């Protein structure tokens, strides 16, 4: 599995990571998925304190604790569960971040987090205070590096200007090319993109067409536009399987440090990981794919 450096950090992550939200809460299955991912060469695991009210972090921690130094462990903070667990509220305050990290460390059974990410963010936040919290955690050795998870350009620009983030997690796929407008800006700042949702809820996998078209569309694609796109996508002349093609599309951009598809079955994991060892796209294939898909832009939060 090829690796890439996240920003200017000392974190080298497998091109294909594992988005852990899809692991579920059944322990045996979750642990077997993580074990298999490691066997396949995946070293980057991304979770969050939000997922399953912390249980996801517990499962990931249990799976990797005996090989902690071989793993790049990422989690997120900012969504505060209410006492009655009826939902969560946004809290990017310094006090909450420094309280929450202790609980994440306990659940993950580790002394440090490789990449700690702000799980959202708005332009109304006290961004300076949030940055101060992450910088203090770095100085304390509790986290190695930090990043943000955001698709709001105005928030992204603030953190690029004011902080030492090494990564920005963004939803990015052939069916959601909105981040591409910002890639050169992000790259110029020496920061990497982590691509979540690279398979667009399974639309870009090898599943039969009739199974993919159960929904009424995707983002700005109507159902009819989506069907026309998928027919053309499946007819692209390439040695890659559909899943590989979709993941390699994201990895074609060197600003992308990793893609983190989820997997709830071993076979999905194998198909995802295969993209990390498959041939990289040619410029011609990449251009063909771009011609198939819309190039939308973020309209809000600019």
Is residue 51 flagged as an active site residue?
yes
Distances in whole angstroms, Cα of residue 75 to Cα of each of 104, 170, 226, 231? 8, 15, 33, 37
Q: Are 257 and 192 in contact (CB under 8 A)?
A: yes
Count the Cβ atoms, other than its own, within 10 Å of residue 139. Answer: 9
Q: Which of 51, 146, 221, 249 is catalytic?
A: 51
* Tokens 């909105």 belong to residue: 178
The pair phi, psi for residue 210, each rounded to 5°, is: -65, -30
Q: Are 40 and 269 in contact (CB under 8 A)?
A: yes
Distances in whole angstroms, Cα of residue 137 to Cα of each of 83, 94, 101, 106, 116? 25, 10, 9, 15, 9
- For 12, residues 6+ apart whose C-beta sits below 8 A from its C-beta are 3, 4, 5, 6, 72
Rounded Cα gap, residues 231 and 38, in angstroms: 34
Rounded Cα gap, residues 258 and 192, in angstroms: 8
Sign of CA dihedral 159, 164, 169, 173: positive
Radius of gyration of the chain (CA): 19
Active-site residues, by number, are 51
């Amino acid at each position: 599995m090829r690796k890439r450096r996240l920003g200017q950090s000392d974190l080298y992550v497998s091109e294909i990571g594992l988005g852990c939200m899809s692991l579920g809460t059944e322990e045996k299955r979750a642990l077997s998925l993580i074990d298999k991912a490691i066997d396949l060469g995946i070293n980057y695991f991304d979770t969050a304190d939000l997922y399953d009210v912390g249980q996801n972090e517990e499962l990931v921690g249990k799976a990797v604790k005996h090989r902690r130094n071989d793993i790049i462990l990422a989690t997120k903070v900012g969504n505060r569960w209410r006492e009655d667990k009826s939902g969560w509220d946004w809290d990017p305050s310094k006090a909450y971040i420094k309280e929450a990290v202790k609980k994440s460390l306990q659940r993950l059974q580790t002394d440090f987090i490789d990449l700690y990410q702000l799980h959202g963010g708005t332009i109304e936040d006290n961004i300076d205070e949030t940055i101060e919290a992450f910088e203090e955690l770095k100085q304390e050795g509790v986290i190695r590096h930090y990043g943000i998870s955001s698709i709001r350009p105005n928030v992204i620009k603030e953190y690029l200007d004011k902080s030492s983030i090494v990564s920005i997690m963004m939803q990015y796929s052939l069916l959601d090319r909105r981040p591409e407008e910002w890639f050169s800006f992000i790259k110029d700042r020496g920061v990497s993109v982590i691509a979540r949702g690279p398979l667009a809820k399974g639309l870009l996998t090898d599943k039969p067409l009739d199974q993919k078209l159960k929904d009424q569309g995707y983002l700005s694609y109507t159902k009819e536009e989506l069907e026309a796109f998928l027919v053309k996508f499946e007819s692209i002349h390439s040695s890659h399987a559909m899943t590989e093609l979709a993941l390699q599309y994201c990895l074609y951009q060197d600003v992308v440090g990793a893609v983190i598809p989820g997997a709830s079955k071993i076979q999905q994991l194998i198909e995802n990981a295969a993209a990390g060892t498959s041939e990289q796209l040619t410029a011609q294939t990449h251009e063909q794919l771009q011609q198939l898909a819309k190039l939308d832009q973020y309209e809000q939060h600019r």
